[in-house]
Structure 1
Amino acid sequence: MSPPSPDSPDTGTAGTGIRNTGASLELRGIGVNFGGLVALEDVSLAVPAGSVVGVIGPNGAGKTTLFNVVCGFVDPSAGTMTFEGAPFRPRPHQLARRGIVRTLQGVGLFRGLSVLENVMAGATHTSKAGFVSSLFGLPRSDREERRLRTEALELLGEMGVADQAGAYPETLPYAVRKRVALARALVARPRLLLLDEPAGGLSAEDIDELAALVVGLPARENACSVMLVEHHMDLVMKVCTAIVVLDFGRVIASGTPDEIRENPAVTEAYLGAEVSS
């Protein structure tokens, strides 16, 4: 399967095989140059509402640069972006208020705060008072803080780590910290969640459990679309409704996991062998 042309009637986004049915995020013709280096060239993709879209490719393909464009850390030299149908010019400090949250390749939890406090900290932009005020002894709404605490505990329960609410991150296994970081992202009630290598450092069993969590994200009460960058192909193939493949900054293929698995261009550029389901 080769990427369809920009005029293809089967896609609402140029250069991808992903049908745009109410896209949460849409990128068209994104280009990024670092001096004389072309990091991204004419990259177009859509993350439809209620979907999990994976971005894969070999090292240096432009995956992290693409994420940084979406987050506003890198300004594209060409192309446009829309989010929920409106033109989108991202700025890092405004992402959460726009409904976009990104997790880090590591965990990025705060030392000195308990697991529960770490999760509550993720909702500061939605809280009228509560957590931040309580940290500094400022006047606050006890009702709002109780609501936030309850929501954080419920999310820890969803992640299967509610029993660690009072623990400190540095005392916990890495896989548990990853779940806490995911809960902290979700407490912000994102409409688009950007997962940056969420399987990094996890065992095969942990990756299977993570897959079950990610697959369920679009179906949650506070549902969100998901865009993820990942090297672990087992996770990508299990959780993604669509996959975009980058190589040397360009989209070389896109489609369903089955289509990507069978694409010889992908095998040559990145996978190197048939991917098992």
Structure 2
Amino acid sequence: MERGLELHHIGVRFGGLTALDDVSLQVPPNQVVGVIGPNGAGKTTLFNVICGFVAPQTGALTLDGRPLRPRPHQLTRLGIARTLQGTGLFAGLTVLENVMTGAAHTAHAGFVSALLGLPASDRDERRLRRQALDILDDLGIADHAEAAPTTLPFAVRQRVALARALAARPRLLLLDEPAGGLGGDDIAGLAELVRQLPRRDTDPCAVLLVEHHMDLVMAVCDDIVVLDFGRVIATGAPDTIRDDPAVTDAYLGAAVDSDVA
């Protein structure tokens, strides 16, 4: 039975600093789950635990009820993909080639075949190219396939980074501040894309989203987890979180105060 990703009572300390304290959450299949909280709440540490960059001192992770001990280089084989803050694209590759790198782990031909240009390697490249073009088309940026990423607007580069993550055909996509640097229209377009990811006819995926833009979080998430000082202070649907006094005090109220200032 598919239960998705679950974190059970995760605790992380860095010296005398508690980054995460008894954090539990679930990302069920075919849902978008958001993680919000003030700066320093533990959101980045949470992502790093899931990706295997940080090992928790307490608690455990499971995937479909089975123990999960993630390693960064094994994430794609586990069905997990992650976008980075910024874009992290390879400047020396075209848009199409960048997206193809996201699916490189699915190539059947080995290094020697690729080096010698053997038929198996050619078949892999054609297959990966077709898949990458299909994803670019789905995201509305296929016209930029042969462009260098550095020549494109930031909003388009963000979509290229998303396309590269989707090329891995993940069951779970981790989105780390995907709206950073985007304007209002671009955020609305991103929201539409994220909403559709669990509902795609081909390769649907659950999404775990860390984001500061509350309009995006409220528009796309099925459930939201709120962190403050490394602890979960609220979990629920967007309307529930919006009306929660503890969330208002810890996060939303602070954002309003900063806007007024």
TM-score range, shorter chain: over 0.9
Q: Structure 1 runs of 4+ off > 6 angstroms?
A: 130-133
Gap change, CA 1:111 and 1:154, over 3 Å in 2: same
**2:112 & 2:239 partners in 1: Cα distance?**
46
1:235 partnered with 2:235: no
Alpha-carbon distance in 2 for matches of 1:184, 1:190? 11
* Counterpart-to-counterpart distance in 1, 2:82 and 2:239: 27
For 1:22 and 1:110, how far apart are their aligned partners in 2? Answer: 34
Contact in 2 for aligned 1:130/1:142 (Cα 8 Å): no
231, 235, 240: which is aligned to 1:250? 231
Looking at structure 2, the residues matched to 200 and 123 of structure 1 have their Cα atoms a distance apart, in angstroms, of: 25
**Cα shift at 1:121:** 0.7
Which of 154, 158, 175 is residue 178 of structure 1 equivalent to?
A: 158
Cα separation, partners in 2 of 1:144 and 1:199, compared to 1, 3 Å: same
The aligned residue for residue 123 of structure 1 is 103
CA distance 1:133–1:114, change in 2 (3 Å): farther
Aligned position for 2:127? 147
Superposed CA RMSD: 1.8
Give the structure-1-normalised TM-score.
0.88
Q: Say whether residues 1:42 and 2:25 are aligned partners.
A: no
- Percent of matched pairs sharing the same residue: 69
- Structure 1 residue runs of 5 or longer lacking an equivalent are 1-20
1:267 aligns with 2:252: no
The one-letter code matched in structure 1 to 2:54 is V
1:15-61 residue CA offsets vs partner (Å, 9 max, x unmatched) = xxxxxx94310001000000111110000000011000000000000
Match for residue 63 of structure 2? Answer: 83
1:117-139 deviations in Å (ceiling 9; x for gaps):
000011011111399965x5543
Shift of 1:219: 1.0
Quote the residue 2:7 is aligned against: 27
Cα distance change, pair 150–237 in 1 and its aligned pair in 2 (3 A): same
Counterpart contact for 1:244–1:251, Cα < 8 Å: yes
SS at match of 2:8: strand
- Given the alignment, which residue of 87, 95, 108 partners 1:107? 87
CA distance in 1, matches of 2:2, 2:130: 32
The DSSP-based 3-state class of the residue aligned with 1:216 is helix
The Cα of 1:144 is off from its aligned counterpart by 2.2
CA distance in 1, matches of 2:227, 2:79: 26
Given that 1:124 and 1:132 are in contact with CA atoms closer than 8 Å, whether structure 2 keeps it comes out as no
**Take 2:128 and 2:146, find their aligned partners in 1: how far apart are those partners?**
15
1:148-198 CA distance string (max 9 Å, x none): 111100100111100000000000000000000000000100011000000
1:223 counterpart SS class: coil
Of the candidates 166, 184, 200, which is equivalent to residue 146 of structure 2? 166
Partner Cα separation in structure 2 for residue 85 and residue 29 of structure 1 = 15
CA distance in 1, matches of 2:255, 2:245: 9
Structure 1 pair 35–133 and aligned structure 2 pair: CA distance change class (3 A): farther
